[in-house]
Structure 1
Amino acid sequence: MSNVKSVLLVGVGGQGIILASKILSAGLIEAGHDVKMSEVHGMAQRGGSVTTQVRYGDKVYSPIIGKGSADVMVAFEEVEALRWLDYLKPEGSLVVNSHKIPSASVISGAEVYPEGVIEKLKGAVKNITVIDASKEAMELGNIKAQNIVMLGGLIKAMGIEGIDWNKMVEESVKPRFIELNVNAINKGMEMVEADLVK
Structure 2
Amino acid sequence: MEKVKNIVIAGLGGQGVLTASDMLAEAAFRAGFDVKKSELHGMSQRGGSVSSDVRYGEQVLSPMVPAGEADVLLVLEATQIEINRPMLRAGGVLIGPGLLPDGALKNKKSLNVALLGAVSTVLDIPQEHWMAAIYANLAEKLHKVNDQAFALGREAALQGSIAQHH
- Distance in 2, Cα, partners of 1:2 & 1:40: 26
Instruction: After TM superposition, give the deviation of residue 160 of structure 1 in Å.
Output: 3.0
Matched residue count: 162
Matched position secondary structure for 2:134: helix
Structure 1 unpaired stretches of 5+? 99-129
Read off the aligned partner of 1:188 and give its amino acid letter: G
- Distance in 2, Cα, partners of 1:2 & 1:32: 13
- Distance in 2, Cα, partners of 1:38 & 1:149: 22
Instruction: After TM superposition, give the deviation of residue 68 of structure 1 in Å.
Output: 0.7
- Distance in 2, Cα, partners of 1:97 & 1:157: 17
Identity within the alignment, %: 33
4+ runs deviating over 4 angstroms: 194-197
- Distance in 2, Cα, partners of 1:54 & 1:43: 20
Residue 28 of structure 1 contacts residue 35 of structure 1 at CA under 8 Å; is this kept in 2? yes
Residue 28 of structure 2 contacts residue 129 of structure 2 at CA under 8 Å; is this kept in 1? no
Give runs of aligned pairs for residues 136-175 of structure 1, distance below 5 A: 136-137=104-105, 140=106, 142-175=107-140
- Partner of residue 52, structure 1: 52
Instruction: After TM superposition, give the deviation of residue 136 of structure 1 in Å.
Output: 2.4
Structure 2 unpaired stretches of 5+? none
- Partner of residue 154, structure 2: 189
Provide the TM-score with structure 1 as the length reference. Answer: 0.75
Give runs of aligned pairs for residues 6-155 of structure 1, distance below 5 A: 6-98=6-98, 130-132=99-101, 135-137=103-105, 140=106, 142-155=107-120
Q: Which has the higher contact order (CA 8 A, sep 6+)?
A: 2
Instruction: After TM superposition, give the deviation of residue 164 of structure 1 in Å.
Output: 3.1
Q: 1:153–1:9: structure 2 CA closer, same or farther, 3 Å change rule?
A: same
Provide the TM-score with structure 2 as the length reference. Answer: 0.89
Q: 1:44–1:165: structure 2 CA closer, same or farther, 3 Å change rule?
A: closer
Instruction: After TM superposition, give the deviation of residue 51 of structure 1 in Å.
Output: 0.3
Instruction: After TM superposition, give the deviation of residue 64 of structure 1 in Å.
Output: 0.5
Deviations 1:21-74 (A, max 9, x none): 111111100000000001111214211000000000000000101111111101
Instruction: After TM superposition, give the deviation of residue 177 of structure 1 in Å.
Output: 0.9
Deviations 1:76-104 (A, max 9, x none): 11121110111100111111113xxxxxx
Q: CA RMSD in A?
A: 2.1
